[in-house]
Copies of this chain bind each other. A is one copy, B any other.
Amino acid sequence: MLHFTLDQILELENIYRRNLINSLYGCKPAVLIGTSNSEGQNNLAIFSQVFHIGATPPLLGVLFRPDSVERHTLSNIREMQHFTINHVGVDMAAQAHQTSARYAKDISEFDATGIEAEQMEGIEAPFVKKSPLKMHCKAVEEIKLQVNSTILLIATIQDVFVDELMLGADGFINPQAGGLSAVAGLDAYFSMQAIGRYAYAKPDKPAKEIHP
């Protein structure tokens, strides 16, 4: 095993440190966040920092770095409150990654990358048409983390759209069945292969595999 201490990490060359520290988390969900501003200009940006906060009511969190290209996304959410989260299929990974380029504010990443947008009735934010799992969200709160000015945005999930091939009888959504991708570090995309599902664990019983 190689060992990096905190002091050694802080002395690493910048890009090396950024890669190393960002890839300490293995695979994270690769999603595209769709927003629009009050002039109807659409924006689309890739994120991997989206996570579950609660099921009842359904709440999620998104982290925004203050100095990142995600700034159009955050300013649009502040303006409009509503946004969409669209999972990236393995066949869209290259296009999705391209949304991280610093396009000018008046250019829609949908147009620039060729990802097809979809407008749904009554929802003022664009979806990714091809995405097999997508959500309509509404911002409820912003928390600025004092440690480094990262912003945690908390949102309620207003609508879920899921390809029925992914949805199991118990409500589980199978990411492999939808061909979802995951991202490691800043730029590496992966597909997933099932190992197994395990029953709710009990102290007096060994782990038990359930239907996949």
Contact = CB atoms under 8 A, between A and B. Distances in A.
Interface of A: 1-6, 9-10, 12, 14-31, 49-61, 63, 65, 87, 90, 93-95, 97-104, 107, 112, 133, 135, 140-141, 143, 145-148, 150, 152, 154, 156-164, 167-168, 170-176, 180-182, 184-185, 187-203, 205-207, 209-210, 212
A152 B33 CA distance: 23
Contacts of A49: 51-52
A5 B176 CA distance: 24
Contacts of A97: 198, 201, 207
Nearest to A181: B195
B133 A24 contact: yes
Given A23-B172, A101-B202, 18 more contacts: A2-B162, A2-B167, A6-B157, A19-B173, A21-B157, A25-B60, A26-B87, A26-B182, A27-B29, A53-B148, A54-B147, A93-B198, A94-B207, A98-B201, A102-B202, A174-B184, A176-B190, A189-B197
A17 B15 CA distance: 41
B192 A190 contact: yes
A23 B52 CA distance: 9
B141 A143 contact: no
A160 to B, nearest CB: 4
Chain A interface SS verdict (over half) = mixed
A26 B63 CA distance: 17
B201 A100 contact: yes
